[in-house]
Amino acid sequence: MDCPYCGAELIYSDFYGIGNYAAYEKYGYGFKKTGDIFKCPNAEGFKDEEEAIRYLEEIGVNICQENIESICCDSFDFNGYFHTIENHNLINGYPC
């Protein structure tokens, strides 16, 4: 699954659901998985292209669109997390 903002492949982080997972592990019931949690690998970088370009200039890396996109993602606004729901639609943010 790819980040809808920068196109990077999302990293699987965890799953979430309803109920008590510890009871499910012990007894085999009491928990229902409702989705998965993913994180964009570029969310730890820079919020906008201007900051990214300044950083690339400072470290002497060739400034091209590919290098800028690899360190810049709008998912920065919500910590880079995404989650799915049962129908597998990707939603911005960490599930509540």
| Residue 44, pLDDT score | 66
Q: Say what the pLDDT of residue 64 is.
A: 66
Predicted confidence at residue 36, as pLDDT, reads 93
Residue 2 domain-assigned (yes or no): no
Does a structural domain hold residue 6? no
State the total domains in the chain.
1
Q: Is the dihedral of CA 39, 41, 47, 49 positive or negative?
A: negative
1: in domain? no
16, part of any domain: yes
In a domain, 85, yes or no: yes
Q: Is residue 72 part of a domain?
A: yes
pLDDT for residue 71: 66
Is the distance from CB of 93 to CB of 78 less than 8 angstroms?
yes
Is there a domain that residue 34 lies in? yes
Q: Can you give the pLDDT at residue 42?
A: 77
Q: Domain residues for 63?
A: 11-92
CA-based nearest residue to 96, from 87, 88, 85: 85
Write down the pTM of the prediction. Answer: 0.69
Q: Is residue 5 part of a domain?
A: no
Q: Please tell me the number of Cα atoms within 13 Å of 70 on its side-chain side.
A: 9
Q: What is the mean pLDDT of each run of 10 residues along the chain (96 residues)?
A: 86 91 83 91 71 76 65 75 86 86
